[in-house]
Amino acid sequence: MSRHYFVLAAIFIVAIALAAGGSPALARNDATGKSWDNQESAPAVEIHGFAESSGSARLVGDATTSRDYPLGKARLRLDIAHYADRAEATLKLDFVRDAITREDVFSIRRAIVGAHVATWLDVRAGRQVLTWGTGDLLFLNDLFPKDFQSFFTGEDDEFLKAPADAIKLSGYFGAFNVDVVWSPTFEPDRYIDGTKLSFFSPSAGRRVSAETMGNAVHAITPDQTLENSEVYVRFYRTVGSAEVALYGYRGFTKEPVAFHQAAGLPTFSRRNSGGASLRGNLLGGIASIEGAYYDSENDRNGTNPFIPNSQVRGVVGYEKEIVKEFTVGLQYYAELTTDYDSLLAHSPWPAWEPDEVRQLVTGRVSWWLKQQTLLLSAFGFISPNAGDSHWRFSTSLKWSDNVTFVLGSNLMFGNQWTFFGQLHNNSNAYLRLRYAF
């Protein structure tokens, strides 16, 4: 095990040396003096990154696992970029020592080549993180892969977004702009598979984890054919100060919510979606509204219990800075499952099916203090009809430009079959320390 730390340390040292040599910007990061004058010409290759140590501990005993710590990671991030006038190449590498799985992971978070092909066309190809939409931690039309394991174990919000291998074309026209993302292979969410977080299994009728199941959830992913590639589209423009967007997606459910009867394993089912959003200023704050229709292509009448039904989702939100540096945000979210009667009629576990209309109210409070070096924030998801909730509290202190401490907790409450309640035993408090360079 100690060997791995040697490797990590070696990589870290090499990276620092590289960065120091390759990037004058880095070498003088802390210099407050005159070096700025000489720093005008950007280096050919910029190297930045951070080293982070993070860990979280369960606050509630979890009978399904012997692990008291859902998170324990040492991460070295190298962010290598080269920017030319009409093209760019960027690489984000993560070297992670995961104390929970006892693995050393090398992951590429981003590796893209981008080109400004014409004044109206940008192309980016490679592994990239993508987002769009207006919801705050609620994703309707943003069907790019997410990492919910990170989200609930106390990692930085950055890791909620998982990268996908894709080609993104962005067209800019006077009347509207368009983004087309083509992901040749299906990239699912990093769903909760029981390794770090326990969850409720309807078939077992209780919370399970990889330890209780013997292995982590394994879902069958669609074949890597051209037919099964994912396409994301967005048309958008700004009208006055309001942003209007239309979205489209053809692909699969991002979670293994379907069931492969032949293999007896969860799998992903076809899903197409279309939606729209509008966001703008209202009464000194930001108001947004977004809606989406999920078309379950293979179960349009909701009769197949192994394939999720079509859904209509909508969210309205409002965010306003009510006192200086103190922002409050509220969202109301509703998710309507179509053909609900048919769903219940065919469901093997009708008692544990979610309500026909799942509702969520979210609230966010962000309070910047000490000249924006201390951030106190709280985010709560509350479902009034299912009675479950999720609370995210965090205190983030920027000790200096380089060093950041974050202390926080993720708390989940509710009946064990509810969306957040099933994660109750995973409630945790976390601490992160990051040194950026």
Partner 1 sequence: MKLRNHLVDGAIRFPRTVVVGTVLVVVALATLLPRLTVDTDPESMLPADNPARLFHHLAKKEFNLHDMLVVGVVNESNANGVFQARSLERIYKLTRRIESFDGVIRDDVMSLASVDNITQGGPGVVRFAWMMNTPPKTDAQARAIRDAARNLPVIDGTLVSKDGRAAAIYVPLRSKSDSHRIARKIEKIIAGFDGSDRFFITGLPVAEDTFGIEMFRQMGIAAPAAGLIVFLLMLLFFRSISLVIAPMIIAILTVSATMSLLVGLGYTIHIMSSMIPIFLMPIAVANSVHILSEFSDLYSRVRDKEKTIRLVMDDLYQPMLYTSLTTAAGFGSLAFTPVPPARVFGVFVAIGVALAFIMTVTFVPAYVVLLNDRQLNRLARTTHTHEDNWFSRALESSSRFTLVRWKSILAVTVVIIAVSVYGIFRIQINDNPVRWFRGHHRIRVADRVLNDHFAGTYNAFLVFHHKAAADSTLIHQSVDGILANARNRGIHLDTEWKEAVRKATRGNKIDINLLISAADDDLDNSEDSAYPVWEDIVNALEKTASRQRFFQSPAALTYIEDMQRDLAASNLVGKSISLADIVKTVHRELREGNAKHFTIPGSQAGIAQTLVNYQSSHRPDDLWHFVTPDYHSANIWLQLRSGDNQHMAAVEERVARYVDAHPLPAGTNLNWAGLTYLNVVWQNKMVHGMLNSLLGSFAIVFIMMLILFRSMSFAILAMLPLSVTIAFIYGVIGLVGKDYDMPVAVLSSLTLGLSVDFAIHFLERIRAVCRETNNWNKSIAIMFREPARAIVRNAIVISVGFLPLLISPLVPYNTVGFFLATIMIVSAAVTLLLLPALMHPLRKKLFRGQLPPDQEHEFVTEAGRRTLRNATIAVLIGAAVLFAAAQARSQTSPRIATIIDRANQTAYYAGDDGRASVRMTITDAQGRTRIRQFTILRKDLADGGDQDYVVLFSRPAGVRGTVFLVKKHAHGNDDRWLYMPGLDLVKRIAAGDKRISFMGSNFLYEDVSGRGIDEDTHKLVKTTPGQWVILNTPKDPGSVEFASWTVWIDRKTYLPVKMEYVDNSGTVYRRIETLAVQTIQGHPTATKMRASDLRNGGNTVSEFRNIKYNIGIPRNVFTERTLRNPPRSWFRRR
Q: Write the binding mask 268 to 307 for partner 1: x where contact by CB under 8 A, - elsewhere.
A: -----------x-x--xxx-x-------------------
Nearest distance, CB of residue 9 and partner 1, angstroms: 20
Contacting partner 1 (CB under 8 A), which of 21, 44, 102, 120?
120
The verdict on 321 binding partner 1 (CB under 8 A) reads yes
Q: Are 226 and 219 in contact (CB under 8 A)?
A: no
The verdict on 25 binding partner 1 (CB under 8 A) reads yes
* Length of the chain, in residues: 437
Assign 7 to helix, strand or coil: helix
The verdict on 395 binding partner 1 (CB under 8 A) reads no
Nearest distance, CB of residue 333 and partner 1, angstroms: 18
Task: Measure the CA–CA gap between 48 and 32, rounded to whole angstroms.
Answer: 19
Smaller CB separation from partner 1, 98 or 122 = 122
Contacting partner 1 (CB under 8 A), which of 195, 253, 327, 389?
327
Helices (H) and strands (E) in the chain, counts: 5, 22
Q: Are 247 and 274 in contact (CB under 8 A)?
A: yes
The verdict on 67 binding partner 1 (CB under 8 A) reads no
The verdict on 131 binding partner 1 (CB under 8 A) reads yes
The verdict on 119 binding partner 1 (CB under 8 A) reads yes
**Considering only 205-213, 261-269, 342-350, 366-374, which stretch makes contact with partner 1 by CB under 8 A?**
366-374
The verdict on 405 binding partner 1 (CB under 8 A) reads no
Residue 373 region, left (φ>0) first, then alpha (ψ -120 to 50), else beta? alpha
The verdict on 50 binding partner 1 (CB under 8 A) reads yes
**What is the DSSP secondary-structure string of 258-307?**
EEETTTTEEE--EEEEEEEEEEEEETTEEEEEEEEEEE-TT-TTS--TTS
Q: Are 141 and 273 in contact (CB under 8 A)?
A: yes
The verdict on 217 binding partner 1 (CB under 8 A) reads no
Going from the C-alpha of 201 to that of each of 51, 194, 263, the distances in angstroms are 36, 10, 17
According to DSSP, the β-strands at 326-337 and 285-295 are unpaired
Contacting partner 1 (CB under 8 A), which of 9, 10, 13, 325?
325
**Considering only 4-12, 61-69, 235-243, 419-427, which stretch makes contact with partner 1 by CB under 8 A?**
235-243
Nearest distance, CB of residue 85 and partner 1, angstroms: 4
Contacting partner 1 (CB under 8 A), which of 52, 156, 335, 339?
156
The verdict on 157 binding partner 1 (CB under 8 A) reads yes
Q: Are 136 and 331 in contact (CB under 8 A)?
A: yes
**Considering only 59-67, 129-137, 194-202, 340-348, which stretch makes contact with partner 1 by CB under 8 A?**
129-137
The verdict on 187 binding partner 1 (CB under 8 A) reads no
Q: Are 287 and 278 in contact (CB under 8 A)?
A: no
Cα-only R_g, the chain: 23
